[in-house]
Chains A and B, each alone.
Chain A
Amino acid sequence: MGILAPAFLAGLLAISIPVIIHMINRERRETIAFPSLMFLRKVPYKSVRRQKLRHLLLLLMRCLAIGIIVASFARPFFDREIAAAPSANDGREVVVLLDRSYSMGLGTRWTRAQAAVRTIAGEIRANDRVSVVAFDATAAQVVEPTASASRVDRVLETLRPGSAPTKFGPAFRMAAQILTASEQSRREIVLVSDFHRVGFTPSDEVSLPLRTTVNTVDVSRGESGDVAVASVAVARQRDGSRVRATVTARVTNLGSDARSVDATLELAGRPADTRAVRVGPRSTAQVVFPAASVSANATRAVVRITRDSQPANDQFFFTIAEDAGASALIIEPPGARANQSLFATRAWAVADDPAVRVDVRSSTAVTPADLRGRSLIVINEAELPAGAFGEEVRRLVREGAILLVAPGERVSLGLTPEWRAELPASVGPASDRAGRWASVDFSNALFEPFKTSRADFSSVTLSRYRALNVVNGGAIIARLDGGAPLIVERAMGDGRILMWALSLDANWTDAPFHPLWVPLLHQLARRSIAGSEVRSWFTAPHVLDLSREGSVLVESPSGVRTRISPDSAPRSVELRERGFYEVRTGSVAIGAGRPVAVNVDLSESDQSHFDPAELVAAVTARGERSAARGNDAVFEGTAQEMERRQAVWWYLLFGAVLLLAGETMFSNRLSRRAVKQPPAAINEGARDAA
């Protein structure tokens, strides 16, 4: 029995109210002098006692009613004493949670885990049911409830440790589903795992059915950590038309002893270089491989170290390709000022993540060919292009590019209907009102990097600005201190149009001299290629979005093929195996598809172990009441059962209402039985004498 809101128990003090009233009434009871009590004593006293008892009963009813009301507000609940619904079946429902995270491949853990599951299955009686849930970061029921140990054994033979890290939450939730659906009276979970500390976070919501017993089998034997390739970094250098890449691998020793390993870089399946490296205990060393030429297409690359007890983290898969980066085209008006685009071009020139290629063209000299491969187009105080070129710009934006319009003083107010329908704001006259940059919308992707630090843009001052009148559902993502829009944004196809109320030079504002200027333009460039960049590797498990692809065929490292057609849903594939997935589109030949590298989560390599009882205590949320018996514990019930256990407060409240109603009737009945008091004169003399 527990209480959810014990603070309400302070309300029990209210019980003193009827007691005090009772005592006050008792104190104020009239005293009557009577000649002799000898005849009163001869009257059977039980009637007086009964009346006293009735008054006491009334007092008790009132106190009890208050007590019950207070108790109901304190929300009592039963922790385990509510009897389970009678079950026709007296057998056990055993759910085996088998950890198949890649850390289970360390040493003989997996063998011990299989043996433990076989032992459990061997103890299953005819009226018992056992099911097996294999889990890593996700959980899957691999054996439906059965009493057949051989069936469990057959499935067990097909299971192997995966490439994902341990997550206990999904496994317990699936076990809860199985147990809730079960009609067996005894419910049991057996967790077979190496109990990685990273596998469970207290925020995981685990709610098991009532009276679920949890047994744990710990297959770890205190193995120390091994050496793993933590990550790689690829530095590209353009050498003429070729790109040379220098690979730097970080090798981490998670054990307590210094280790020496050989690190080998493989490019396109061929060893490129091998380096010996010595890594101290609990430390990391870097291995820099010589620069190698890479092709425009992604090249498969692997860094391997000497195989040890945990092979899953001895290889690191990644791809090397020419960095597409971002490409910006700044269009200036004829006769532009000398430094009109200086601050933008200098800011993007120093960008490396991604690198930004910047070209400046006059609006009179720009051609459609200049638009090829551009992810960012800046109209810097030039008229928006009309005609076919304008249409080409709009197409580019619809395909995902960003168009930044800085009207400055030169842009006329006359727009073509095509642009008028697309722009997020119409441009008003220039205002001479000085002001500051007041606020930004940190939820917008443009300001995402500044969200954590809550960067202060208010120190940016300005002397003039063009009024922007929001149209076409444009969103104001930055404002001036007077509330006027500073940046207005609107989606256009897959791309976006941003309108900037100032110029891009220092004529109207000191923004180019502000420390936030360069990061802001870098973020703009980064955003212009968002979704199109090619990541060198992913960490399993990862869901690869293929919604921009047409019909594709995805082949896993183990050879499993998954076809994603334009009408299939979801248009994504889960990357669960370490190695290279191959994504092929159309009629691309086998082996020529786009490689996608997947590596294991290195956090699983950390052999930080924790006590299974601690896990049990953590998931119960009230560990002290989990009554751990060895490795056993009783979990709280499901949400429905918890609600049912707490529902006692409704009954208490209902009981209190009934009690108060009874008290009212009882009290009224006593009052009605009272008759008029005799004339006071009768007792006058006696009272005087008394």
Chain B
Amino acid sequence: MLTAPTHAPGAQLLDPAVLARISSLELRARAVVEGFIQGLHRAPHLGSSTDFAEYRPYVPGDDTRRIDWKVYARSDRYYVKEFEADTNTNLVVFLDVSRSMLYGTKLQYACTLAACLTYFSSLQRDRVGMAMFANGVVDFVPPSAKHLRLVLHSLDHAERNVPKTPANPTRLRPIFQRLSDVVRRRSMVAVISDFYEEPDDVVAAINMLRGRGNDIMALHILEPSERTFPFTESSNFVDLESDEKMPVIPEYLREGYQKVIAEHIATLGKRLVGQGVDYSHFDTSEPMDKALFAYLGARSRIERTQKVG
């Protein structure tokens, strides 16, 4: 079992404040991931693609390169050497780029997190893909072993995909229903969002993705001020997504708000974990290694499942 070192070498690079000073997203992801890996004291290539499974008779259509010629010399029969399934898996990051993600450094944090995951996954020789959604799917990079740079490029320009004008708030269910169709293979799906939707709706939407046996990671990103509500002056609060306005006297709302959003986070985590989803709540002031641990945990689960299967 993998355990996260508390003070891993290079862990300071996981600090968002330090990362924010690195302009290149790829460089940022590399700094995070390689620092993370150094802390693990493990080989970076964790794939099991060389594990032998069985021989089976050759049938027309099989790749002739997979014929074991040594067995043919001994038995004068064509056998194809089968390895244990695919050693690589897919990682698809579903990134929320709705207007609510513009609040504070949430989008920047989410992009960096997505980049780290894809970069880390690429090191594992996994196929990486990415989908951005707001009111609908606004960008999609199909999973591929060669799509790391494409994903990083898209992430680098994620802000362009943020809707310019307020519209209806994001609804995850129809979006994920559509995305479930484009993710054809069993994959690891990392959903990075602030999840401004009722927990029931979020669970229902994520369940749409579980249909093909996908392993889901729900990465809940929030600004600290979204939880603590530290405002003091009475102000007009404007909903970034719908542009609705609401006069608010913070000092009278703070306590109730903190209670409501804490309940929301707790309920969301409880419901998603209950559904077998890896739920992680991220504060933009927190390091990103938690996300990487979540990724590794999910991947190992997939491997175990495949072996059992």
- List residues of chain A with CB under 8 Å of any chain B CB: 29-44, 47-48, 50-52, 673-678, 682-683, 685-686, 689-690
- For B105, list chain A residues within 8 Å (CB): 685
Extra contacts, 13 of them, besides A30-B233, A36-B100, A40-B253 (Cβ < 8 A), are A29-B233, A35-B194, A36-B241, A37-B242, A43-B256, A47-B249, A47-B252, A51-B234, A676-B232, A677-B232, A678-B231, A682-B224, A685-B104
B60 at the interface (CB under 8 A from A): no
> Does the CB pair A33–B104 fall under 8 Å?
no
- For A689, list chain B residues within 8 Å (CB): 99, 102-103, 240
- For B252, list chain A residues within 8 Å (CB): 47-48, 50-51
Query: In whole angstroms, what is the CA distance A52 to B244 when docked?
Result: 19
Query: In whole angstroms, what is the CA distance A43 to B253 when docked?
Result: 7
> Does the CB pair A32–B169 fall under 8 Å?
no
State how many angstroms separate the Cβ of B32 from the closest Cβ of chain A.
22
B246 at the interface (CB under 8 A from A): yes
State how many angstroms separate the Cβ of B108 from the closest Cβ of chain A.
9
Residue ID in chain A nearest B224 by CB atoms: A682
Known: A35-B100, A40-B257. A48 touches B249 (CB 8 A): yes
- For A52, list chain B residues within 8 Å (CB): 247, 249
Question: A30's contact among B106, B224, B235, by CB below 8 Å, is which?
Answer: B235
Question: A686's contact among B102, B196, B246, B247, by CB below 8 Å, is which?
Answer: B102
> Does the CB pair B232–A48 fall under 8 Å?
no
What is the interface of chain A mostly: helix, strand, loop, or mixed? mixed
> Does the CB pair B225–A682 fall under 8 Å?
yes
Q: What would 16 A/B residue contacts be, using CB atoms closer than 8 Å?
A: A30-B235, A32-B237, A35-B103, A35-B196, A36-B169, A37-B237, A37-B239, A39-B257, A48-B248, A673-B251, A674-B232, A674-B251, A682-B225, A685-B104, A686-B102, A686-B103
> Does the CB pair B236–A675 fall under 8 Å?
no
B230 at the interface (CB under 8 A from A): yes
Residue ID in chain A nearest B226 by CB atoms: A35
> Does the CB pair A675–B239 fall under 8 Å?
no
- List residues of chain B with CB under 8 Å of any chain A CB: 99-106, 169, 194, 196, 223-226, 230-242, 244-249, 251-253, 256-257, 260-261, 264
Known: A32-B238, A47-B252, A686-B102. A38 touches B196 (CB 8 A): yes
Residue ID in chain A nearest B237 by CB atoms: A34
Residue ID in chain B nearest A31 by CB atoms: B236
Residue ID in chain B nearest A51 by CB atoms: B249
> Does the CB pair B234–A36 fall under 8 Å?
no
- For B235, list chain A residues within 8 Å (CB): 29-32
> Does the CB pair A675–B232 fall under 8 Å?
yes
- For A683, list chain B residues within 8 Å (CB): 104, 225
Residue ID in chain A nearest B246 by CB atoms: A37
- For A31, list chain B residues within 8 Å (CB): 235-238, 245
Residue ID in chain A nearest B255 by CB atoms: A43
Query: In whole angstroms, what is the CA distance A325 to B274 when docked?
Result: 136
Query: In whole angstroms, what is the CA distance A41 to B105 when docked?
Result: 24
> Does the CB pair B234–A29 fall under 8 Å?
yes
- For A43, list chain B residues within 8 Å (CB): 253, 256-257, 260
List the 4 closest pairs (A to B, CB-CB), nearest first.
Answer: A47-B252, A43-B256, A35-B100, A678-B230
- For A33, list chain B residues within 8 Å (CB): 103, 237-238, 240
Query: In whole angstroms, what is the CA distance A393 to B260 when docked?
Result: 118
> Does the CB pair A47–B236 fall under 8 Å?
no
> Does the CB pair B100–A690 fall under 8 Å?
no
Question: A690's contact among B231, B240, B260, B261, by CB below 8 Å, is which?
Answer: B240
Query: In whole angstroms, what is the CA distance A678 to B235 when docked?
Result: 13
Query: In whole angstroms, what is the CA distance A383 to B231 when docked?
Result: 108
> Does the CB pair A47–B103 fall under 8 Å?
no
- For A39, list chain B residues within 8 Å (CB): 257, 260-261, 264
Query: In whole angstroms, what is the CA distance A682 to B100 when docked?
Result: 14
- For B100, list chain A residues within 8 Å (CB): 35-36
- For A34, list chain B residues within 8 Å (CB): 103, 237-240
Query: In whole angstroms, what is the CA distance A48 to B255 when docked?
Result: 13
Query: In whole angstroms, what is the CA distance A41 to B196 when docked?
Result: 13
State how many angstroms separate the Cβ of A477 from the closest Cβ of chain B.
80
State how many angstroms separate the Cβ of B261 from the closest Cβ of chain A.
5
State how many angstroms separate the Cβ of B223 from the closest Cβ of chain A.
7
Residue ID in chain B nearest A48 by CB atoms: B249
- For A37, list chain B residues within 8 Å (CB): 237, 239, 242, 244, 246
> Does the CB pair B99–A40 fall under 8 Å?
no
- For A686, list chain B residues within 8 Å (CB): 102-104, 240
Query: In whole angstroms, what is the CA distance A31 to B39 when docked?
Result: 45
> Does the CB pair B253–A35 fall under 8 Å?
no
Residue ID in chain B nearest A35 by CB atoms: B100
> Does the CB pair B246–A41 fall under 8 Å?
yes
Query: In whole angstroms, what is the CA distance A677 to B244 when docked?
Result: 23
State how many angstroms separate the Cβ of B116 from the closest Cβ of chain A.
21
- For A690, list chain B residues within 8 Å (CB): 238, 240
Question: A682's contact among B99, B223, B236, B264, by CB below 8 Å, is which?
Answer: B223
> Does the CB pair B230–A682 fall under 8 Å?
yes
Query: In whole angstroms, what is the CA distance A673 to B252 when docked?
Result: 10
Question: B239's contact among A36, A677, A685, by CB below 8 Å, is which?
Answer: A36
Known: A682-B230, A686-B104. A32 touches B236 (CB 8 A): yes
Residue ID in chain A nearest B256 by CB atoms: A43
Query: In whole angstroms, what is the CA distance A208 to B196 when docked?
Result: 79
Query: In whole angstroms, what is the CA distance A84 to B236 when docked?
Result: 56
- For A674, list chain B residues within 8 Å (CB): 232-233, 251
- For A676, list chain B residues within 8 Å (CB): 232
State how many angstroms separate the Cβ of A478 from the closest Cβ of chain B.
82
- For A51, list chain B residues within 8 Å (CB): 234, 249, 252
Question: B240's contact among A35, A41, A673, by CB below 8 Å, is which?
Answer: A35
Residue ID in chain A nearest B264 by CB atoms: A39
State how many angstroms separate the Cβ of B269 from the closest Cβ of chain A.
16
Query: In whole angstroms, what is the CA distance A44 to B245 when docked?
Result: 17
State how many angstroms separate the Cβ of A54 from the closest Cβ of chain B.
9
State how many angstroms separate the Cβ of A228 from the closest Cβ of chain B.
88
- For B236, list chain A residues within 8 Å (CB): 29-32
- For B103, list chain A residues within 8 Å (CB): 33-35, 685-686, 689
Which of A33, A677, A683 gathers the greatest number of chain B CB atoms within 10 Å?
A: A33
Residue ID in chain B nearest A676 by CB atoms: B232
Query: In whole angstroms, what is the CA distance A34 to B261 when docked?
Result: 14
> Does the CB pair A47–B237 fall under 8 Å?
no
- For B233, list chain A residues within 8 Å (CB): 29-30, 674, 677
Query: In whole angstroms, what is the CA distance A30 to B234 when docked?
Result: 8
- For A50, list chain B residues within 8 Å (CB): 252
> Does the CB pair B260–A42 fall under 8 Å?
yes
Which of A29, A34, A686 gathers the greatest number of chain B CB atoms within 10 Å?
A: A34
- For B257, list chain A residues within 8 Å (CB): 39-40, 43
